[in-house]
Amino acid sequence: MTGKLRKSNRREGFLGWMARNHVAANTLMFVLLGGGLAAGLAIRQEVFPAYEIDIVNFRMSYPGASPEEIEQGIILAVEEQVRGLEVVKRMEAVAREGSASVSIELMDGANPNRSLQDIKNAIDRISSFPEEAENYTLELAQRRRNVIQITIAGDVSERTLYQFVQSAREELLTRPEITQVEIDGSRSPEISIEIPQETLRALGLTLGEVAEMIGRSAVDVPAGGIRTDAGEVLLRTTERRTFASEFQDIPILSLNSGTKVRLGDIATIRDGFEIAESERFFDGKRAMDLDIYQVGDERPLDIARAAREYVAELQQRLPENMTVLTTRDRSIDYRDRMSLLLKNGGLGLALVVIVLGLFLNPRLAFWVALGIPISVIGSLLLLPALDASINMISLFAFIVTLGIVVDDAVIVGENVWHKVEQGSPRLEAAIAGAREMAIPVFFAVITNIIAFVPLLFVPGSTGRFFGVLPAVVIAVFTISFVECLLVLPAHLGHGKPIAENNTPRGPLGLLRRVQRRFSDGFEWFTERMYVPLLRQCLSHRYLTAAVFVAGLAVIWTWYDSGRLEFNFMPQITGDRVDCEVLLPYGAAFEEAQRIAHHIEEAGLRATDKAGGPDILEGVARYVGRGGANTADINISLVP
């Protein structure tokens, strides 16, 4: 008897061994669930997947030049010199008033750092740049992961607002969840020093000499160290100056009488900002933004929570003439996508249990439905090896697989149920059902995987951006295949019998009667409707094929007529209305301001008609962001 049992086990193979050893199957299930949860807590989280951008950006300033002069003197020269390099795929150039920018996309597989050096060497050979043009900058494009933006506005001077925003930035950086914060919408601060020409002549000085003296006197200079009995003492001159008042006492010249001439005696020194025709307002008040970025393994939800907590604290001590609020919070989209995944997953579990419970045993329906969380959570174990993270794209991939991963478990479970109904012992039915469906389930899973494999080979930035989608789908399908063949049969093969001849009382008895009615109705539909139709289709196979081809032709004709639109990136209605106006070159900055005011007033009138303050979160007005002749209006609505 023992020999026959061992021989039977050898015929059943590994699937039979797992079905008989429910401890091993449960251990595998707990490894997938526990390991997946642990991996999910440690895996990188981000709003959108991080990927390298194979683009080199060239920028050069040419103050006072028109776009035509920029194109002729800078852009055409750069394009002509760089175009012949083997690493260059394509270029896009923009000529603005006073500046030129060229975006150089590299070939797939090119070494970014080596390509950057090759492009720099090519540009350095250009000798026809205008003499008035400033030194160019050349750098690899970096994709920074913006999470949330804080807008601070107030009826105060630009200097006061900048100091307040700078202080807020430093306070944000003290929070452990936040590492990178940058100020946006502010002109670069500068200290202006004006000396009359007559004064320079009287002292026998030039502006260059004065600038050199200021440069030597306004820097920190290390002076080495001195070893003492108490340790080493570092010497350093701390002469770095930040404000205009600190430049007043810089010595410029010593007269024969012994009198020292200081910078404050001969110059007018003021704190100010660079000369740039640009301004930013929010709800009619001067505004600046703080852009908060994700760095490394920081979590977007943690960053956004810390930023909102800081905003709530800042509002308590903010002057009455100033406002602060969070804008462009991308963590909301991330949180909504996560909630949608959990909601759809729970709904899918409930639907699977309900639908299968109408035809099969409730316990069988439960174990089949449990394949959804096991597959999704277990796939998190594979994501680090696939260099994938939890982001908007991977969450979308999880949502896509929710309705597919349960299919193979349904196939195996239904086959087991069928054998039990035929009178087979429960364990033998589970083993035989799993072994019979192993090949069909394998081809079903591998077909789904193959459908997503081409997405792994999409070139360029698009391929790197969406590459996490097929990686997640493949991981989920793989774990689902393992679960339905190695874990599910053990659960179906042990415990109380699945099919019972007697009808229990109470809720289970009611459920059993409902199951019988559904089963009888389904069998009636199968025998009276489906089987006769199937026989007719098989008997008239050429007519069946012709009807199918005709239907396909009708669908293609409908699509080709243009009535059915196709859009790879569909437009999605957002909660913000943007308007950008580009005035002709040479238009006065005051004209751009006037048009921006006109558009803002029109937008406010439109929102008043649609709901007024109940739907309006704020209005941002940017003038000169894309040049002195541009005006942008952003109307943010309440989500």
> Alpha-carbon distance 605 to 174, whole Å?
42
3-state SS of 291-327? EEEECCCCCHHHHHHHHHHHHHHHHHCCCCCEEEEEE
Greater pLDDT, 460 or 553: 553
Q: Find, among 238, 546, 511, 490, the residue nearest to 356 by Cα.
A: 511
Q: Other CB atoms closer than 10 Å to residue 603's CB: what's the count?
A: 18
* Token digits of residue 426: 């429960």
Strand 630-637 versus strand 145-154 pairing type? unpaired
* Token digits of residue 510: 């009611």
Distances from the Cα of 214 to the Cα of 253, 266, 275, 528, angstroms: 12, 13, 21, 99
381-438: pLDDT as tens digits: 888 888 788 888 888 888 888 778 878 888 888 888 888 878 788 888 888 888 888 8
Which fold, 145-188+291-329? Alpha-Beta Plaits (3.30.70)
Q: Inform me whether the pLDDT recorded for 581 exceeds 80.
A: yes
CATH for 55-140 is 3.30.70.1430
224-261: pLDDT as tens digits: 556 666 555 555 555 566 666 777 777 777 776 767 77
Q: Inform me whether the pLDDT recorded for 549 exceeds 90.
A: yes
Domain residue ranges in the chain: 12-47+339-501, 55-140, 145-188+291-329, 190-273, 507-566, 576-637
pLDDT category at 568 given cuts 50, 70, 90 is low
Taking residues 508-519, report their average pLDDT.
72
pLDDT category at 458 given cuts 50, 70, 90 is confident
Q: Is the pTM of this model over 0.75?
A: no
Least confident range from 152-156, 465-469, 539-543: namely: 465-469
> Alpha-carbon distance 232 to 226, whole Å?
6
| Intrachain domains 55-140 and 145-188+291-329 with the same fold | yes
> Alpha-carbon distance 193 to 209, whole Å?
13
The pLDDT score that the predictor gives to residue 203 is: 78
Taking residues 596-620, report their average pLDDT.
83
Q: Inform me whether the pLDDT recorded for 501 exceeds 50.
A: no
Q: Phi and psi for 613 in degrees, rounded to 5?
A: -60, -20
> Alpha-carbon distance 229 to 231, whole Å?
5
Domain 12-47+339-501 CATH (choose: 3.40.50.300, 1.10.3720.10, 1.10.760.10, 1.20.1640.10): 1.20.1640.10
38-79: pLDDT as tens digits: 888 888 888 887 777 788 999 998 887 888 888 988 999 999
Q: Using the Cα atoms of residue 196, residue 199, residue 201 and residue 205 in order, give the sign of their dihedral.
A: negative
* Token digits of residue 259: 């009198």
Measure the CA dihedral 256/262/267/268, to 10°.
Answer: -150
pLDDT category at 18 given cuts 50, 70, 90 is confident
Which amino acid is located at 80 in the chain?
E
pLDDT category at 597 given cuts 50, 70, 90 is confident
Task: Give residue for tokens 């005035």.
Answer: 583
- Terminal Cα distance for the chain, rounded: 72
> Alpha-carbon distance 311 to 323, whole Å?
10
The pLDDT score that the predictor gives to residue 504 is: 57
The pLDDT score that the predictor gives to residue 3 is: 47
* Token digits of residue 98: 């006073």
pLDDT category at 570 given cuts 50, 70, 90 is low
Which fold, 190-273? 3.30.2090
Taking residues 453-462, report their average pLDDT.
80
Taking residues 318-330, report their average pLDDT.
86
